[in-house]
A and B are shown apart, each in its own frame.
Chain A
Amino acid sequence: MRQRPAIPVFAFYERLLMRLLFAWLVWRATPHVLIVNGIPSPNGITRLFDLHFLLDPHVFRVADLALAAALIFYVLRFVVWLALPVALFVNLAANGIENSQGAIQHAAQIVSLVLLAQTVAHFYGLWRRRQGEERAGLESRAIWWSQQTIVAVYLLAGITKLITTKGLWVFQARWIGVSITKAAYQSFYDRFSQADLERQLAVANFAASHGWLVALIAATGLLLELGAPLALINRTWAALVGCALVCFHLGLDYSMHLTFIYNQWLLVIFLINVPFWIVTGARQITSR
């Protein structure tokens, strides 16, 4: 039987494009201005460190510039041992402060977790290199751990649904119309789009009157979350699960205006991995 390598190997062009896109995503997922009222409800990193100094706009500007420099170095693979911790600290600190206002947001969390995974993977890789591991494995491990992090987020969301509802989530889903209505109005009061509100309320009313059909659709979504680890089997599975999860997000976006845009981008970058399929397809064609 063929033994699978401990870490999948990624080609240079894949690693470069992933670095470039991920750096851009980290930049997008980090607040560049803090519109906050102090740190009234410390959460996560703000419980561990006093980050009040970052509330000074001048200090925060320096942190923002440090993030920009760190991300450029990360893309160029120059002093990565410094670039990754700096980027991680600024990203965690800025998002940590925003999440310490008494409201936890789940939009940027997945990006921070992937950044954390890459940082830990890098230092673990350096340690492994001292034990004699090949240099090439360093970045491939960071990508492999990024994939595992993305999968863990979906699996965790599925497990939490089962724990919270004692396994009855699918049956409760027939009341999803109530949640869609709430999300529709919340979205409306953000942007005042009457057309979006009407479309979402139509979905909510449909859900309220077709409870069991909605439960069936919800069951598919839950299975998708619980089945996310299949993405770690190989590249084909990664692309299939990635595409399915992106479709799942597009459905949520249409019905509830929940875009989870960073999730979608991470799925595209690390699981679907379009450049690999383009190169593989091109090689197949030219070899005929």
Chain B
Amino acid sequence: MRHRFSDKTELHALGRRVLPYAMLSPAVLVTLAIVFFPMLQTTWMSLHEYILFRPNDFHWVGLGNFKAALNDEVFWISFGHTLIWMGITIPAQLLLGLTTALLLNQNFPWRPIARALIIIPWALPSVIIALMWVWIYDSNYGVANEFLLRLGIVQKAVPWLANPDTALASIILTLTWQGFPFFAVMILAGLQSIPHSHYEAASIDGASQLRQFWHITLPGISGVVVTAVLLRLIWVANSFDVIFVMTGGGPGYSTYTLPLYAFIKARTNLDFGYGSAIAVLFTLLLMVFVIFYLRRMRRMI
């Protein structure tokens, strides 16, 4: 009798150990198939000369593509733009998102409607956003120029996307607009999880609004912010759809970023070997950056 009882517990324990793996395995298998397998394939292709319209001429070149990339002027131009792209877009989205969240956390009439409206840029497909902003920036009919001309801020219509000095900045503005609702919603959720009693206690102690923000609000949302920044970092770094639709990388190489360059090389020039090499290099760079970020942030929280 006793023996049977212990059998049952053992079985139960085994079940408990196996169950998580059994439950996870479908997701893991799918991830392996659609993420890891293509990643391995990309790495494999990056070590070969592989031009799609010469399928029989697939030969090993070792690190040749990587060497070529590091000596490629366009690679470094794109790399520089990627840094500017990430360095401005993410802080701008974060700041705008934080401000919006703080505003939305106040009590005011129609607050639910304002909260719903704010999510619109985030909910729109990137291609629609890109096309919409192309028309906003248009130098002949665009509202941006019309507005600035009427206010007397510019003297003649500016070709925002055709001018190499303003093209990248214009796209960064578009992406900031698209991405800030994500921060706003995440931070708003964080703000609402801070117990109100903390603020009451602080104000009884005579803490100013600024001090309350610094010592209660910021620590209260830091976990959310770190995660949100990490997610955005990866998304913004990889996103090129908006650039692709708005300028296709032009004029010249003015709005090339590394993912866009990899895409154009592989998909338009059909040079999959070289395109893959750029993609692998970019993944490594992003990985280093993410690890560095996570280490720093772990220390800060």
Partners in one complex: no
Interface residues of A (CB under 8 A from B): none
B interface vs A, CB < 8 Å? none
